[in-house]
Structure 1
Amino acid sequence: MSEIEPWLTELLRLNDEEEKMTDKQIKIVQAAVEIFSEKGFAGSSTSEIAQKAGVAEGTIFRHYKTKKELLLSIVAPMMTKLIAPFAVKDFTKVLEADYPSVESFLRAVTLNRLEFARKHFPIIKIFIHEIPFHNELREQFKEKVAVQVLEKAYKAIRHFQEHGQIIDLPPPAALRMIISTIMGFLITRFLLIPDGEWQEEKEVDYTINFILYGLTPRP
């Protein structure tokens, strides 16, 4: 089983709620996910997608008017029906749980996002590639994920600041530093060096310790 097949299965389920995909459409979507994930939207062509899918290029345009429509037909339902609900519902549970320390909070957040990335990275990779260039994806992300998650994250940060476990930074600044460190780990793990000999438990520890203490030796 290739790494995108779970995504294809899920996408078929989501689309079947509205319109059943044909066999050729399934092949087109599977080929598009592989090529968009590998080369990005700008570096891909419909002729290349058609060749990989084993269909005529005109077949793509019978289902999708443009290459961008094909991209959005893959990413949009994933964002609105799968990624957003999962991210918000699942991540909200993590953010709203009661933790005895900021370290336990950071560990829960890091492990949660690690498993999320492991399960969903092929489409996440496309989304990371394309969100800077497609306003529709940015707006979907802000509306479906960011707005619903940010305030809960700020609340958790303020809680630990009140208990003296996080320094007195504006919560958006503190969250930005936390996110950038965790995302750096995940992007390296799944995108830059996916075949490395990863010891994930240790890497999670390194990530958390860096957020807590930076590079300064502890006394």
Structure 2
Amino acid sequence: MNTENIFTSYADWLAHAEMPKGQRAVLEASITLFSKQGFDGTSTAQIANQAGVSQGTIFKYYHTKQDLLQAIITPVVQHLVPRIRDAFVDRLPTQVDLATFIHFIVQDRFNFLQQNAEVIQIFVSELLISPQVRELFATFLKKTAPILNGSPLAKLQTSGQIRQDLSLLNIVRTLIGQLLTFFPNQVFTETARFDR
């Protein structure tokens, strides 16, 4: 599977990834079902039915359901999120106060979260229970730390607007945690509004 051409959303990446039609259908169905029912609440029979393929097709590409989950999450953490992070850091305003900075983060990242709602929902669920997913995310955060040193976040810390005793990585973890907590509530509110 070609993972070089990573786009701005998982759906866009999936649409352009070089893979057989059946494999793409399995991934799309898995994302839909895992985000609605959870990983443990979804059977391979349900995935096969949703994808319009046999269970044998699923196991042709993924030896286990866990392998299928990893095929969804790994590109997100290793390719999509770093690309989005780099684009985000490039767009950060250089001269801001803390309130403007947080507003920018929430507005900019909420767009990303909306475009990738199903995959992010799967990722957050698995982050809470899967050591492998936590390890993938911890590796991503470690690679992110050096990028933060010259960022506006570091300047806000130097100016005293953010506590200086916190590491930049801990600040980023807190911001990400807040966004990931805020996001499901917003999605639920939006969904409830449209269901009326």
Identity rate of aligned residues, in percent?
A: 26
Return the alpha-carbon distance in structure 1 between the equivalents of residues 57 and 180 of structure 2.
38
Structure 2 letter corresponding to 1:75: I
In the superposition, relative to structure 1, how do residues 156 and 54 fare at CA in structure 2: closer, same or farther (>3 Å)?
A: same
- The answer on whether the counterparts of 1:28 and 1:53 sit within 8 Å (CA) in structure 2 is yes
Return the alpha-carbon distance in structure 1 between the equivalents of residues 172 and 20 of structure 2.
44
In the superposition, relative to structure 1, how do residues 181 and 24 fare at CA in structure 2: closer, same or farther (>3 Å)?
A: closer
Return the alpha-carbon distance in structure 1 between the equivalents of residues 173 and 136 of structure 2.
20
Structure 2 letter corresponding to 1:91: F
Match of 1:83 among 66, 73, 81: 81
Structure 1 letter corresponding to 2:130: H
- The answer on whether the counterparts of 2:95 and 2:152 sit within 8 Å (CA) in structure 1 is no
SS at match of 1:194: helix
In the superposition, relative to structure 1, how do residues 90 and 23 fare at CA in structure 2: closer, same or farther (>3 Å)?
A: same
Structure 1 letter corresponding to 2:143: Q
1:189 equivalent to 2:186? Answer yes
Aligned to 1:10: 13
SS at match of 2:116: helix
Give TM-score scaled by structure 2 length.
0.77
Using the TM superposition, give the Cα deviation of residue 116 of structure 1 relative to its aligned residue in structure 2, in angstroms.
Answer: 1.1
Post-superposition Cα deviations, 1:30-59, rounded to whole Å, max 9, x if no partner, equal 111111111111111101111111222122
Return the alpha-carbon distance in structure 2 between the equivalents of residues 29 and 181 of structure 1.
28
Aligned to 2:120: 124
Structure 2 letter corresponding to 1:42: D
Return the alpha-carbon distance in structure 2 between the equivalents of residues 195 and 101 of structure 1.
33
Give TM-score scaled by structure 1 length.
0.70
The residue correspondences of 1:1-219 to structure 2 (distance < 5 A) are: 7-14=10-17, 16=18, 21-87=19-85, 89-94=86-91, 97-143=93-139, 145-150=140-145, 152=148, 156-157=152-153, 159-166=155-162, 170-171=166-167, 177-190=174-187, 192-196=188-192
Using the TM superposition, give the Cα deviation of residue 177 of structure 1 relative to its aligned residue in structure 2, in angstroms.
Answer: 5.0
Structure 1 letter corresponding to 2:49: Q
In the superposition, relative to structure 1, how do residues 150 and 44 fare at CA in structure 2: closer, same or farther (>3 Å)?
A: same
- The answer on whether the counterparts of 1:94 and 1:108 sit within 8 Å (CA) in structure 2 is no
Structure 2 letter corresponding to 1:86: I
Structure 2 letter corresponding to 1:195: T
In the superposition, relative to structure 1, how do residues 54 and 134 fare at CA in structure 2: closer, same or farther (>3 Å)?
A: same
Aligned length in residues: 184
- The answer on whether the counterparts of 2:10 and 2:80 sit within 8 Å (CA) in structure 1 is no
Larger Rg: 1
Using the TM superposition, give the Cα deviation of residue 193 of structure 1 relative to its aligned residue in structure 2, in angstroms.
Answer: 2.5
- The answer on whether the counterparts of 2:94 and 2:152 sit within 8 Å (CA) in structure 1 is no
Name structure 1 gaps, 5 residues minimum: 1-5, 199-219
